[in-house]
Structure 1
Amino acid sequence: MTGSTTQPAAPEAKAQVSAEPVQAATNVGDLPPTLGTAGMRKAALDGDARAVYELASRAADGPAASRDPKLALRLFERAAVAGLAPAQFRLGNMFEKGIGTARDLSLARVWYTRAAERGNAKAMHNLAVLHAEGVSGKPDYATATEWFRRAAEFGVRDSQYNLAVLLGRGLGAPTDLAQSYLWFAVAAGQGDEDAGRKRDEVGQRLSPSDLAAAKAEAAAWRPRTAASGANDVTPPAKGWDEAPTAAVKPAKPARS
């Protein structure tokens, strides 16, 4: 199976759990004068979680000489606590990889879960990998299958491949060769050559009628539409310096 990712996965799906409203980020702390723009820093200090996320991204992903993993971790945590799913994903990834902090798979699972429940597809994939690899002490293929399936429906190619593997082997769910074929075919359609080979191998084990049905389902498959804000953070239309943003006030949660 393929492992966790730190790269965007081009997800296109609806969140399966309703997200709570994003609240204001607090306790941002001191910010280096060279980090971001003046407007961005002001917005972050005023509590705009989007600005905090942008500053965290720059601290984490900027030129090597200016990177500050510990600062990035602190800022991602502020934005994550405020409810930004992309920040929750990044925070989980830092705990998983031990970037800016000691490696802590339990905390990685906590933050991946929060992001995944808000519809973040990359978090769904990474969370599934943790469960498949036994983050709780032994592999939990049933939970891994559930999250791989959700991410696969969102268009995450590696999740599609991994789901096909689990379904083909009967791990976490009853063996289903037709569905294994489907997900190998979908992953192959996104350029995974190994998935294409495995699709053909599985196809040889299907009856002609089941193979025809699986091919038709694969041809008709489309990714679902992403929930707004689940996978990306959108800055103000006019930029941070032309239109500084006030703090986002907490709203009453709308849980499903």
Structure 2
Amino acid sequence: MKYTGVEFLFFLILSVAVVWFVWEDSDSSTAIPDYSTTRLLAEQGDSEAQYQLGLLLLRGQGVTSDPEEAQLWFQKSADSGNAHAEFQVSQYYDRKYQSSQVPEHGINSFNWLKKACDNGSWEAQTKMGQIYLDGLRIDGLEISPDQRTAAAWFRRAAKNGGSNANYQLAKLLDANPKLAKNGEESFDYYKEAAEQGNPDAQYWLGVVYLEGKLTRPNHSLAMELMNKAAQQGQPYAEYMVATELEREGKIQEALSYYARSAEQGFAEADYRIGLIYRFGKVIEADLEKAEYHFTKATKLGHVGAKKERIILLAEQGDAEYQYYYGNLYMKHYYDDNMRDSWKHDQAYFWYEKSANQGYAWAQNTMGQKLYLGNPAKAFDWFQQAAHQGLSPAQWNLALMYLEGEVVERNWLTANMWRIISESNRPAGDMYAYGRVNAHLRFNALTESELEQVEELVRRCVETDYEVCSESR
């Protein structure tokens, strides 16, 4: 499979935001202690047992979850100097600060974090690194971003065995080579974190092997790492495994991995699923499923999915999306320095389809296109859109009555449509600027004319634009 630098830049940018570890679950212990035994030891004053009891109560392992009682045991253990418990107390106050924004809680959190760092907690040291990376501002406490200090904290945490610290440090050094002790340091930390089972590090190291950025390209090793990360639920790794399976023609397996990635909010995965169902080259096309996944990706801001959804719905006969499809062609037409006339014609092909189905914006657009060459047809389109309440079409109709084009000049009807249009116009819409100068063409109404126009407006609006007194 060929990977371009642009494609990987896309993945790298997205991946920066991924934070996989959960601070309160960051203890590296895998064995779950017996609740009764742990509680007995904790009640006898064993500091480590008090900390482990707090974890059991926090996580609901062997007992009903009780975060408040967990905090009491963490506090007892922390008061005895247990670094892991000190970190948990810091987390407790951090959660209180995040929910209340009371500065005292934030300062307490930082003070306990510092104690935990000094006592060797890699979890705390990793978080301290993140604080110096991002900066911290609390009333009474301010830390400016400092990448060099952040790297120092990540190094301390990595030395104490923190896989996430290895990963965070690798990422920081990769982005800022001047902080690295040598050219291979970021690669070494990626590799160490990956070997410790960190899924983000496994994904990134896979990217490194695919790009050959810090080492020689190695596709097979890259995909081995991607698979390991995917098995731990890393969404971008799941996506990469899916693309490989799709390339190999294993579509059902690919769909499974794409779906897992999409469930975690990765829009590109939903987009790929949509394309598979949209075109049905290997499996049977399913336009309903295609639309579903394009819609999901569109809501997450995926531009390609938005375009495919527009095309899909337009081709299925949706008038609104036929209009949007016309807009796509028109944008391509104006973006193209050569101004390809085919794109222009395609835009109006879809505009006309939409207009013939009664979509007001398309009708107004058709009116604008035909205004100079076929004003009678333009009037018809403006009239149809105006009677649906579309402000721009009502304004265009007002101008045609004002100028006496196609219809006999009618000063009162022109002002009726002008006033109705203005009342329907969203604040700041694109037509506002054109109206500024056009207003100069409407002379002030006499008191008698104003009364007549107000009556015309009232009747037109009350009849939902059915009785509006214009004549051909």
**Which of the five TM-score ranges fits, normalised by the shorter chain?**
0.5 to 0.7
Deviation of the 1:66 alpha carbon? 4.2
Please state if 1:129 is matched with 2:135: no
Of 193, 204, 226, the match for 2:303: 193
Query: Residue 7 of structure 1: SS of its match in structure 2?
Result: helix
1:249 aligned partner = none
Once structures 1 and 2 are overlaid, which stretch shifts more, 70-79 or 39-48?
Answer: 39-48
**Alpha-carbon separation, structure 1, partners of 2:153 and 2:296:** 44
Tell me which residue corresponds to 2:189: 75
User: Which amino acid is 2:227 matched to?
Assistant: T
Distance 1:44 1:180, change over 3 A: same
How far apart are residue 201 of structure 1 and its match? 2.8
- Residue 154 (str. 1) matches residue 236 (str. 2): no
CA contact (8 A) 1:91 1:111 kept: yes
Is 2:151–2:169's contact at 8 Å kept on the other side of the alignment?
no
Displacement of 1:78 in angstroms is 0.9
TM-score (norm 2): 0.35
Q: Which residue of 1 aligns with 2:217?
A: 103
Quote the Cα distance in structure 2 between the aligned partners of 1:12 and 1:46. 20
- Superposition deviation, residue 204 in structure 1: 4.9
From the superposition, tell whether residues 55 and 3 of structure 1 become closer, same or farther in structure 2 (CA, over 3 Å): closer
8 Å contact 1:69–1:99 — kept in the other structure?
no
User: Between the two proteins, what is the percent identity of the paired residues?
Assistant: 22
One-letter amino acid matched to 1:156: F
Task: For 1:207 and 1:198, locate their aligned partners in 2 and report how far apart those are by CA, in whole Å.
Answer: 14
Question: Which of 24, 27, 47 is residue 161 of structure 2 equivalent to?
Answer: 47
Larger Rg: 2
Give the partner amino acid of 1:189: K
Q: Which residue of 2 aligns with 1:223?
A: none
Q: Is the 8 A contact 2:191 2:201 kept in 1?
A: yes
Distance in 2 (alpha carbons) for counterparts of 1:115 and 1:159 = 16
**Is 1:6 matched with 2:12?**
yes
Q: Quick check: 1:3–1:126 contact (8 Å CA) kept in 2? A: no
Q: Secondary structure at the match of 1:6?
A: helix
CA shift, 1:202, in A, is 2.4
Q: Deviations over 1:58-111 (max 9, x none)?
A: 22111x544555221221111111111111111111111112111111111111
Equivalent residues in 2 for 1:1-256 (5 A)?
A: 3=7, 5-8=11-14, 36-62=150-176, 64-66=177-179, 70-132=184-246, 134=247, 138-171=248-281, 173-204=283-314
- Cα distance in 1 for residues equivalent to 2:268 and 2:174: 24
Shift of 1:113: 1.1
The SS at the match of 2:12 is coil
Higher relative contact order (CA 8 A, sep 6+): 1
149 and 159 in structure 1: CA distance in 2 versus 1, 3 angstrom threshold: same
C-alpha distance in 2 between matches for 1:72 and 1:116: 22
Distance 2:225 2:157 in 1: 24
Which consecutive residues of structure 1, in runs of 5 or more, have no partner in the other structure? 14-20, 26-33, 209-256
Instruction: Give 1:47 deviation, angstroms.
Output: 1.6
In 1, distance between residues paired with 2:235 and 2:156?
A: 30
Change in 2 beyond 3 A, CA 1:173/1:114: farther
The count of aligned residue pairs is: 186
